[in-house]
Structure 1
Amino acid sequence: MSLVDKLKDQMKEAMRAKEKVRLGTIRMALSAIKQVEVDTRETVTDEQAIAILTKMVKQRRDSIAQYEAANRPELAQAEAEEVQVIETFLPTPLTEDEIAAIIDATIVKVGAASMADMGKVMGALKSEVQGRADMSAIGALIRAKLK
């Protein structure tokens, strides 16, 4: 079953259970996926859907930080609830040890020796860790290892 099909099934369950936040968040996710399908005129793959959901989580985390800085905890809480719903559809996050092992293996695989090779490492890692780890944190770890 594809990720889009899972989202649609969960949307139906949220409707039956009258879970407004969950229903609204799933509808928002399906809408974002549909927008990409319309724009590209192609069916979204699971990898693309994960990328879309990851982007949605990142946007909401940015919003949470801005709402907290503006002293609006009720809006930050609403965004946090949406993040929790979206994360249920993403793959399980990698641990720090798993991330370090993947980075080390990728550096060896692409033969990276300096910061000039960081793009190669990031490109090789992206498909493997997409949706399972924060790419900005991974970039910082790669920088530390390629000094």
Structure 2
Amino acid sequence: MSLRERLNDELKASMKSKDNLKLSVIRMVRSSVKNREIDQQHELDDREIIEIISTLCKQRRESIRLFKEASRQDLVDKEEKELALLLEFLPQQLTREELEELVRKTIAEGGAQGSKDMGRVMKALQPGVAGRADGKLVSDVVKEQLA
């Protein structure tokens, strides 16, 4: 089942169960997908939909951080619930240990020497970790390994 079909099925199920939060999150994802399709003038595949969901997750994490700084626990709770729902549509997230192993392997295969090769390592890693790990975490692990 494609991600698009899964989103449609979940939308119908959340309408039937009157789960308003899940309904609004799925509608937000579908709206973002539709906007990107209009911009790029082609139907998005699962990989591109995962990129959109990852971006939405990143926005939620940043909002949570800002709301915590502003002591707005009510908004933090709402954003955390939305983030949890968004994460359900992403592939299984990599643990830090799995990510470190993947980075070590990529560095060894690419023959990267130091921090000047970070861009090359990130480019090689990106297809394998897209949607499965936060970009900032990947960047931090690569920096540690190359240092």
Alpha-carbon distance in structure 1 between the residues aligned to 2:136 and 2:84: 20
Q: How high is the TM-score relative to the length of structure 1? A: 0.96
Cα shift at 1:119: 0.4
Three-state SS of the structure 2 residue aligned to 1:59 is helix
**Structure 2 counterpart of 1:107, which letter?**
I
* 1:57-85 CA-partner distances (Å, limit 9, x unpaired): 01011111111111211111111111011
* 1:23-80 CA-partner distances (Å, limit 9, x unpaired): 0000000100111000000111111111110100010111111111112111111111
Alpha-carbon distance in structure 2 between the residues aligned to 1:75 and 1:139: 28
Q: Does 1:58 align with 2:67?
A: no
Name stretches of at least 5 consecutive residues in structure 1 with no aligned partner.
Answer: none
- CA-based RMSD: 0.9
Partner of 1:74: 74
Three-state SS of the structure 2 residue aligned to 1:39 is helix
Alpha-carbon distance in structure 2 between the residues aligned to 1:66 and 1:144: 26
Cα shift at 1:144: 1.3
Cα shift at 1:113: 0.8
Alpha-carbon distance in structure 1 between the residues aligned to 2:37 and 2:117: 33
Q: How high is the TM-score relative to the length of structure 2? A: 0.96
Judge which range, 46-55 or 66-75, deviates more. Answer: 66-75
Q: Does 1:10 align with 2:20?
A: no
Three-state SS of the structure 1 residue aligned to 2:123 is helix
Judge which range, 70-79 or 26-35, deviates more. Answer: 70-79
Partner of 1:32: 32
Q: Does 1:119 align with 2:119?
A: yes
Alpha-carbon distance in structure 2 between the residues aligned to 1:57 and 1:142: 21
The residue correspondences of 1:135-146 to structure 2 (distance < 5 A) are 135-146=135-146
* 1:89-147 CA-partner distances (Å, limit 9, x unpaired): 00111122211111011111221111111001101111101111111111111111112
Off by >6 Å, runs of 4+ in structure 1: none
**Structure 2 counterpart of 1:135, which letter?**
G
Instruction: Tell me the percent identity.
Output: 36
- Number of matched pairs: 147
Alpha-carbon distance in structure 2 between the residues aligned to 1:88 and 1:52: 14
